[in-house]
Amino acid sequence: MNEHMPTAAKATPTLPDAQTVTSVTHYTDRLFAFRCTRPRSLRFRSGEFVMIGLMGENGKPLLRAYSIASPSWDDELEFYSIKVPDGPLPSRLQHIRPGEQIILRPKPVGTLVLDALLPGKRLWMLATGTGIAPFAALLRDPETWEKFEQVIVMHTCRETEELTYGRDLITALPEDPLIGELVEGKLHYYPTTTRAPTPQMGRITDNIATGKVFADLGIPPLDPATDRAMVCGSLAFNLDVKAILEGAGLREGANSEPAEYVVEKAFVG
Ligand code: A2P
């Protein structure tokens, strides 16, 4: 269900920091993505997040952090969200339609950026649920493919349909006019489910700890000399993955001090 905005419906922003929604795609009854106009002045690095929101009924903006899912070269911005969360914004945002406005605070920040990683051979992208959003940006950024010989995307959700957004994006990469050639032979996609019975099941933590993912892909175990990782999921997931990465000798990096891995919380609540 992809609702494109009819040209005539293009609204002139009236709210401060307002952007106009251009398309909305519903993936499941829990997940949707939308695109909106991008302020010309907005510069960001793929993997960063911004505050977006709607005007609350009390006249105050209802804002929360969302990873930008579109790459830094894109004319528009894309966001991927859950619908029924513990926070009030996504439950309202899910009803947004093309032509309507959202608020966007144009101050991108975040640690899930290539600048916070030392050069390496392999880049592991480890995501659960909507944690795939920042990787949707990074996977469409030529810099990712220029910097690494191999990129491994592990994405885990409870149900198969919850993988669709990431799967569609990743399977389209080889045909992408900008990065299709760069991706060739470098991409390993390793989606798994934990509740729906599928041929590939299991938590990312288990598939790394047991060595299953390395055996399946024919890749050597994590090594701080060659491997870099970016992690984005729930708090519990991030902590468990951190422990595994630290156990393998990788150290957490930051913009000011690049190292072997970086972590960002998926902003889903
Ligand atoms: P599981 O089904 O075994 O809990 P959620 O929908 O709760 O945000 O979870 C998204 C995915 O992340 C699920 O597949 C879930 O697996 C997995 N997951 C949740 N917590 C962890 C964790 N601490 N370590 C690894 N995987 C996790």
Taking the centre of ligand 1 as the mean of its atom positions, its distance from the CA of residue 71, in whole angstroms, is 26
The pLDDT profile of the chain, 269 residues, written as one tens digit per residue, is 444 544 444 444 456 689 999 999 999 999 999 999 999 899 999 999 999 999 988 888 999 999 999 999 999 999 999 987 666 887 889 999 999 999 999 999 999 999 999 999 999 999 999 999 999 999 999 999 999 999 999 999 999 999 999 999 999 999 999 999 999 999 999 999 999 999 999 999 999 999 999 999 999 999 999 999 999 999 999 999 999 999 999 999 999 999 999 999 887 54
Give the number of residues written for the chain. 269
pTM of the model: 0.93
For each of the domains in the chain, give its residue range(s) and CATH number, in order of start: 3-108 (2.40.30.10), 114-263 (3.40.50.80)
Taking the centre of ligand 1 as the mean of its atom positions, its distance from the CA of residue 183, in whole angstroms, is 28
Closest C-alpha residue for ligand 1 atom 27: 237
C-beta of residue 115 within 8 angstroms of C-beta of residue 255: yes
Pairwise CA distance, residues 44 & 108, whole Å? 6
Closest C-alpha residue for ligand 1 atom 3: 194
Taking the centre of ligand 1 as the mean of its atom positions, its distance from the CA of residue 9, in whole angstroms, is 40
Taking the centre of ligand 1 as the mean of its atom positions, its distance from the CA of residue 230, in whole angstroms, is 17
For residue 266, the model assigns a pLDDT of 84
Pairwise CA distance, residues 157 & 220, whole Å? 25
C-beta of residue 212 within 8 angstroms of C-beta of residue 190: no
Give residue ranges with CB within 6 A of ligand 1.
128-129, 156-158, 194-195, 203-205, 234, 236-237, 240
